[in-house]
Structure 1
Amino acid sequence: MNATIRSLTDPEERRAALPALARLRIEVFREWPYLYEGTESYEAEYLEEFIAEPGAVLVTAEVNGAIVGAATASPMRGQKEAFKAPFVARGFDIDRLFYFGESVLLPGWRGLGIGHGFFDAREEAARQGGASHACFCAVVRPADHPLRPAGARDLHPFWRARGYGAVEGLVTTFDWKDIDQRRETPHPMQFWMRAL
């Protein structure tokens, strides 16, 4: 069975997808390497704000009407300061950047080309929005982290094959509660970028 990849452009259709996307984010980000202990209420609020930005994109992978994966993107100028500040400090024109938010996919649907579909749709939206570059950030975890599973998949080769590279020194920090922690802690987030 194949998943159907769709870019949701209708505001009502997007809003209707938010609860499923919030649950999906919690499930996938609970896994390595994010180990995120999230709540549906926070996720719904975050996603509502993200997709409200003009030019935002919500791409879904659906099977029999059920969302099994999703990806978001929007112009960098509408992002929170924690996303923009590292780029502004380095002299980047944030009006020419498109920020890719999450790309989450249930385990049974990985390795089937859906991730490429997510990148294709978001890169096309970025080009149509006049962006010269696309970027995203990913958590940095130590190699000896106690919760790293044996055989953990490294996404760096996939991202490099898509033309993205980690930009040295372009890092931000976000706080969240890991599944094995009692409180939120800071997490370094490395930015990756490519020219479109």
Structure 2
Amino acid sequence: MSAPLGGDRLALDVTAEARTRLEVTTAAATIALRGPTRDPATYDVRLTVGEDASLNWLPQPLISAAGSTLHQTYRVELAGTSRLLLREEQLLGRSAEPPGHLSTRLTVRRNGRPVLDQHTAYGAPAPAWDGPAVLGGHRATGQLLLVEPGLDAPPAPVLLGDPARGQCVLAPLADSQVLLATAVAPTLARLRHLLDAALAHVPRAEAPS
């Protein structure tokens, strides 16, 4: 969708009730654009997954267009036996343009306890966002979060790819049944390849379409 525009306030609240299976995607990429005001846009997503339920949250990428300002949040509440596969992908700027300002925050709670609270910011005025410690000159970034109660033996941390064509790190979090893959790449196609390759390292998990 060609939104959110500057000043927009968008929100989604999605619940997978107990013992249900739900997969959510989008028909096309989301494009953050400059709006009629200088006010930032906000896009807030709340995901709730009940006992023995499964949610695959697989939207198409978010594109940060020049001149836009977007603050995006994900708040995820999980039961102890719920399963989650969450994919988040961003492209910083369309062809031959700089990105807008994009900030994202992902917070995940499982059984009422925090397992992940992550904040990122790209584009001016965020400092050093395109430097070697963050994107290293790449324009696409994203992550996969997998919560798998049946994961008895999480894989050891693994680094995939190479600096020129993009890299991805897959690692378990403090909760050993929660895995996070984080990737940067020059293109969205390469980013998706790296995230799928990371997911292939996880026992019992299938790559999303």
TM-score (normalizing by structure 1) = 0.29
